[in-house]
A and B are shown apart, each in its own frame.
Chain A
Amino acid sequence: MSLLSLRGVRKVYGENVVLDGFDLDVDAGECVVLIGASGSGKSTLLRCVNLLETVDDGVVELAGVDITDPRVDADKVRSGIGIVFQSYNLFPHLSVLDNITLAPIRVHGVRRDVARGRALEMLERVGLADKATAKPDELSGGQQQRAAIARAMVNSPQLMLLDEVTSALDPELVGEVLDLLRELKSEGMTMLLCTHEMAFARDVADRVCFLHQGRPLEVGPPAQVLDAPHEPRTQEFLRRIRT
């Protein structure tokens, strides 16, 4: 059974139909990469899964539970999903360490010293052990990105949503983040992420999903979707992105 399942998800902003009956399944341990033009709704889709947006129709199921049901405890659902935003969204008034320990301490009731220990381990993993006491605005873009990933991972979520995690990074750092994601994947983490970088998609994806006009126009292994797409729209998008 799939861990995450979207059925007929619809999201509308005013006149703008962003998601129009979106179907997608993500298996446990799988990494699905969303691609599509800017404004095609990739970020919106991730926010709907994380219940930061209420869907206008359709169902999102996480581990067999309909999380779009208004009766579910949205805070609890969110605390089991890690999301890394396109713009990091670290808390500027807190140190990197406090950014990471906020949720474990306040939401999960982890003891302060335990939470700190775990956060430091996580920082070690993302290569930021020496930045624990720094404020986010003292970090470079790539360091902020990795801190945000550490913050999302420290709750041991069952699903990670990653929005353009490499877009602000130079090639060397992209490699670092990529390694991190590969490692996560090898540990069995389920990931849904979006990117504009096809090399990145090819590298981490089990399946690639091309969004067009609010629907998953083409879904399949990267070798198929990226190298031999059936749909003329996908072909056009990939051609445009390469030039």
Chain B
Amino acid sequence: MSTWTPSELQRERIAYRRARARRSTLIAVVSSVVLIALVAVGIGSTPGWPRVRATFFDFHRGWEALPIVAQGLWLNIRVMLICAVLIVIFGMTLAIMRTLRGPIFFPLRVFAAAYTDVFRGLPLLLVIFLLGFGVPALQLRGLPNQAVIWGGAALVLTYSSYVAEVFRAGIESVHPSQRAAARSLGLTYRQTLRFVVLPQAVRRVLPPLLNDFVSLQKDSGLIAVLGVIDAIRAAQLETAEDFNFTPYVVAGLLFVALTIPLTRLTDYVARRQGWYGGGGGPV
């Protein structure tokens, strides 16, 4: 152990910084309280507020609907998890396809490029409708006809195109000298991709990737349009009983609660990698 004790000057600095920090906290608290009070008073004094409160923020109604909506949310979670795995696999495949060189791979490159162009442009809701209502209508034998599967497939198809682009950006951000170094050691093209390029690429794009999964979590609610009983659809059914919209609010809150951990994780990873502000952290 060293025998260092802070000098008079350093102690004075620390005390000063602490005082500043306390003051900042105080200002933040006061300004937040004032703002919230103003908003509350503002909304509360509108003529329609009592009606809105009764329709959207009925505590008892919300409490009643909670178990059913939460049960629906469990479906969203399962859909989300399974889709996320498939999306990573399919997105990575597309990204690798696009970076392949050589004439043999020309068709694969074109396919991957066309695919990402089309599915990045198509509104997700449209893909869900097309797959969810279109494919079962074909009455092809051997194909599953549960709505949830086709809704999930639509999520996978669409999100894979986003994720493929994220991966591709990561692959291309790895400096060519890294490939050169790997090849110089005798690694083949595939080995270079697998052991040198992809690990660096994935690490680098982790924050945008997690971001895409945050939106996947909430977009998994869109499969409700196919009649799948997920959180949104459950809320809708509840609402239909008495035209009280509180179950929707409950579903919304649950979705937010679901995404917050992932958002925080994204922030954490991004900060650790130095994505935010000055200071390039380790990559």
CB <8 Å contact, B185 and A85: no
Q: Judge whether B3 is part of the interface by a CB distance below 8 angstroms.
A: no
A15 to B191 alpha-carbon distance, docked (Å): 34
Contacts A85-B177, A107-B191, A137-B282; A52 near B185 (Cβ below 8 A): no
CB distance from B205 to the nearest CB of A (A): 13
Contacts A93-B200, A107-B187, A137-B282; A102 near B195 (Cβ below 8 A): yes
Q: Which of B180, B183, B199 contacts A75 (CB 8 A)?
A: B183
CB <8 Å contact, B186 and A78: yes
Q: Judge whether A103 is part of the interface by a CB distance below 8 angstroms.
A: yes
A90 to B180 alpha-carbon distance, docked (Å): 11
- Residue on B nearest A53 in the bound complex, by CB: B180
Across-interface contacts of B183 in A (CB, < 8 A): 52, 75, 78
Across-interface contacts of B187 in A (CB, < 8 A): 75, 102-103, 106-107
- Residue on A nearest B202 in the bound complex, by CB: A93
CB <8 Å contact, B180 and A103: no
Contacts A91-B196, A106-B195; A85 near B181 (Cβ below 8 A): yes
Q: Judge whether A92 is part of the interface by a CB distance below 8 angstroms.
A: yes
27 residue pairs from A and B, CB less than 8 Å apart? A50-B184, A52-B180, A52-B184, A76-B186, A78-B183, A78-B184, A79-B186, A83-B184, A85-B177, A85-B180, A85-B184, A87-B177, A89-B178, A89-B180, A89-B181, A91-B181, A91-B200, A92-B200, A93-B199, A102-B195, A106-B187, A106-B195, A107-B186, A108-B186, A137-B282, A152-B185, A155-B185
CB distance from A73 to the nearest CB of B (A): 10
- Residue on B nearest A107 in the bound complex, by CB: B186
Across-interface contacts of A10 in B (CB, < 8 A): none
Q: Judge whether B188 is part of the interface by a CB distance below 8 angstroms.
A: yes
Across-interface contacts of B196 in A (CB, < 8 A): 91, 102
CB <8 Å contact, B186 and A103: yes
Across-interface contacts of B283 in A (CB, < 8 A): 92
The tally of residues in A whose CB lies under 8 Å from a CB in B reads 27
Across-interface contacts of A91 in B (CB, < 8 A): 178, 181-182, 196, 200
List residues of chain A with CB under 8 Å of any chain B CB. Answer: 47, 50, 52, 75-76, 78-81, 83, 85, 87, 89-93, 102-103, 106-108, 135, 137, 151-152, 155
Q: Judge whether B20 is part of the interface by a CB distance below 8 angstroms.
A: no
CB distance from B213 to the nearest CB of A (A): 22
A211 to B199 alpha-carbon distance, docked (Å): 39
- Residue on A nearest B283 in the bound complex, by CB: A92
Across-interface contacts of A79 in B (CB, < 8 A): 185-186
- Residue on B nearest A137 in the bound complex, by CB: B282
User: Which of B185, B186, B200 gathers the greatest number of chain A CB atoms within 10 Å?
Assistant: B185
Contacts A85-B177, A107-B191, A135-B282; A78 near B185 (Cβ below 8 A): yes
Q: Judge whether B13 is part of the interface by a CB distance below 8 angstroms.
A: no
CB <8 Å contact, B185 and A102: yes
CB distance from A142 to the nearest CB of B (A): 18
Q: Judge whether B203 is part of the interface by a CB distance below 8 angstroms.
A: yes
Across-interface contacts of B188 in A (CB, < 8 A): 75
- Residue on A nearest B199 in the bound complex, by CB: A93
